[in-house]
């Protein structure tokens, strides 16, 4: 393990700024680490030519700084466009499609000095929290390469854990910045919806389930990248607080009240031992000076689920309908995509309205909860990483999963409302597998959640445990 690649992103940034580390040396160390471990992990895809990257890094050494990411290697999730690189979305139709421009979030990272080295692997279309696709294959979990890295930001999370990147972008509709973070022992942050704008293309009003955000091995690195990604886009109507979060990262958290939701009163089936494993974090949270109170399920989980799958299919169906309408392209859509599209096409306007009424009622319930508690906590996943040969789990604790994504239901209370949420890595399981906690709060509580994350990291530093690779 190269010491340079084990540094945090902010440590690398500071070392480049004070000339104790060159961008070229960082790039060489990064490429060496990718060459050493990526063949077993398959997290980085579409990697650019090494000599071109080293030349670009040397040019960064000879140039004034553009920002805190100056000269630092970044690989972009393969759902986002990075100029000059393929955007495959894990689908063979696009394996040779080269992006002509950066997406907004990529442009912001590049403007802060990042060197885009390639892409990180993702499930086809980003559907399903298990990173495999017919273009690049499956991404392995660095803690056990026979297991899944999660998804859809699975390539990003695995690359962070395996020290191929120090910080990464991702996106989250149904837990995609949280589930893989939990399974790879790193931090993932889903921002308040609107803080990190999406692409100003197509509808900008109706679909509010997905957002881009940061992943890292420390909350401070999360905050630094979140501040780079954040900022209003006047072409889009949804706004959120975009004040910087890094400056306040070390604010004391003692005295804050936390509500523990566990398995939502038994509504979310959990793999044997995982709930108990998650609950071992409660006294650790209390040791930080937080007051943790166990809460009953605050809203019907099945109502949240029905609202979620309606609004999700409506959004996915709208986005992929153009491919479904072309018979030749329809044959190249995976089964889960067709299922989402056909459900979306079958919905009436009143179906969508009724789903949004449920969402509104859940939001009002949360508003009441957040008048009493600073944050709420759930386990991040309902099971530990599963064999990477699986398409998806078909049962948990003897309960059958009736859709390809039911096993991820525990992330939907957060995603349905566009609330900010951080995954905290916790102690490894008895069998050595990672897990995590979702800590979420009201809209615009991004900085406060990152402060809780930093206090947790300062005390426990779980993410410093290296995988065997």
- Count CA atoms within 13 Å of residue 105 on its CB side: 27
**CA dihedral angle for residue 425, residue 267, residue 361, residue 226, rounded to 10 degrees:** 10
Reduce the secondary structure of the chain to three states and give it as a string: CCHHHHCCHHHHHHHHHCCCCCHHHHHHHHHHHHHHHHHHHCCEECCCCHHHHHHHHHHHHCCCCCCCCCCCEEEEECCCCCCCCECCCCCHHHCCCECCCCCHHHHHHHHCCCEEEEEECCCHHHCCCCCCCCCCCCCEECCEEEEECCCCCHHHHHHHHCCCCCEEEEEECCCCCCHHHHHCCCEEEECCCCCCCCCCCCCCCCCCCCEEEEEECCHHHHHHHHHHHCCCCCCCCCCCCCCCCHHHCCCCCCCCEEEECCCCCCCCCCCCCHHHHHHCHHHHHHHCCCEEEECCCCCCHHHHHHHHHHHHHHHHHHHHHHHHCCHHHHCCCCHHHHHHHHHHHHCCHHHHHHHHHHHHHHHHHHHHHCCCCCEEEEECCCCCCCECCCCCCCEECCEECCCCCHHHHHHHHHHCCCCCEEEEECCCCCCCCCCEEEEECCCCCHHHHHHHHHHHHHHHCHHHCCCCC
Q: Is 334 among the residues known to form the active site?
A: no
Per the residue annotation, which of 13, 140, 152, 278 is the catalytic one? Answer: 152
Per the residue annotation, which of 46, 77, 278, 313 is the catalytic one? Answer: 77
Q: CA 72 to CA 74: how far, in whole Å?
A: 7
> 63 is written with which tokens?
């140039």
Q: CA 200 to CA 1: how far, in whole Å?
A: 41
Q: Is 388 among the residues known to form the active site?
A: no
Per the residue annotation, which of 13, 140, 166, 176 is the catalytic one? Answer: 176
Q: Are 196 and 226 in contact (CB under 8 A)?
A: yes
Q: Is 152 among the residues known to form the active site?
A: yes
Helix axes 9-17, 219-229, angle to 10 degrees: 70
Q: Long-range contacts for 300-304 (Cβ within 8 Å, ≥24 apart)?
A: 301/264, 301/265, 301/267, 301/268, 301/409, 301/413, 302/267, 303/358, 303/362, 304/358, 304/362, 304/412, 304/413, 304/416
**Which sequence positions are flagged as catalytic?**
77, 152, 176
């Amino acid at each position: 393990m190269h010491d340079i690649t084990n540094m945090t992103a902010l440590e690398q940034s500071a070392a480049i700024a004070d000339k104790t580390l060159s961008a070229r040396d960082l790039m060489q160390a990064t490429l060496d680490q990718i060459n050493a471990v990526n063949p077993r992990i398959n997290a980085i895809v579409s990697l650019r030519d090494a000599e071109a990257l080293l030349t670009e890094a040397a040019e960064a050494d000879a140039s004034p700084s553009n920002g805190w990411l100056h000269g630092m290697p970044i690989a972009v999730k393969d759902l986002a466009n990075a100029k000059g690189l393929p955007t495959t979305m894990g689908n063979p139709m696009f394996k040779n499609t080269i992006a002509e421009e950066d997406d907004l979030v990529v442009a912001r990272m590049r403007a802060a000095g990042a060197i885009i080295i390639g892409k990180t692997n993702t499930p086809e279309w980003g559907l399903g929290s298990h990173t495999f696709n017919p273009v690049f294959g499956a991404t392995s979990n660095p803690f056990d390469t026979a297991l899944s890295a999660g998804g859809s930001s699975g390539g990003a999370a695995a690359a962070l854990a395996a020290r191929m990147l120090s910080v990464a972008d991702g996106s989250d509709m149904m837990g995609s910045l949280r589930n893989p973070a939990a399974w790879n022992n790193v931090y993932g942050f889903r921002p308040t919806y609107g803080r990190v704008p999406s692409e100003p293309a197509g509808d900008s009003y109706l679909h509010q389930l997905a957002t881009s955000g940061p992943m890292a091995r420390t909350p401070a690195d999360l905050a630094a990248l979140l501040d780079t990604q954040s900022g209003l886009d006047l072409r889009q109507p949804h706004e959120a607080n975009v004040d910087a979060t890094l400056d306040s990262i070390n604010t004391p958290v003692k005295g804050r009240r936390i509500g523990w939701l566990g398995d939502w009163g038994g509504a979310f089936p959990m793999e044997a031992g995982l709930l108990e494993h998650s609950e071992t974090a409660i006294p650790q949270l209390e040791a930080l000076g937080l007051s943790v109170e166990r809460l009953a399920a605050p809203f019907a989980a099945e109502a949240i689920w029905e609202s979620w799958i309606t609004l999700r299919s409506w959004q996915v169906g709208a986005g992929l309908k153009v491919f479904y309408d072309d018979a030749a392209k329809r044959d190249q859509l995976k089964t889960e995509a067709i299922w989402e599209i056909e459900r979306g096409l079958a919905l009436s306007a009143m179906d969508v309205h009724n789903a949004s009424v449920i969402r509104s009622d859940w939001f009002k319930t949360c508003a009441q909860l957040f008048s009493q508690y600073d944050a709420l906590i759930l386990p991040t996943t309902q099971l530990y990483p599963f064999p990477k040969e699986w398409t998806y789990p078909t049962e948990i604790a003897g309960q059958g999963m009736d859709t390809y994504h039911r096993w991820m239901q525990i992330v939907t209370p957060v995603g349905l409302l566009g609330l900010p949420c951080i995954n905290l890595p916790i102690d490894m399981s008895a069998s050595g597998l990672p897990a995590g906690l979702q800590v979420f709060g009201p809209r615009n509580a991004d900085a406060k959640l990152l402060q809780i994350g930093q206090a947790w990291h300062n005390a426990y530093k779980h993410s410093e445990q290296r995988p065997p690779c």
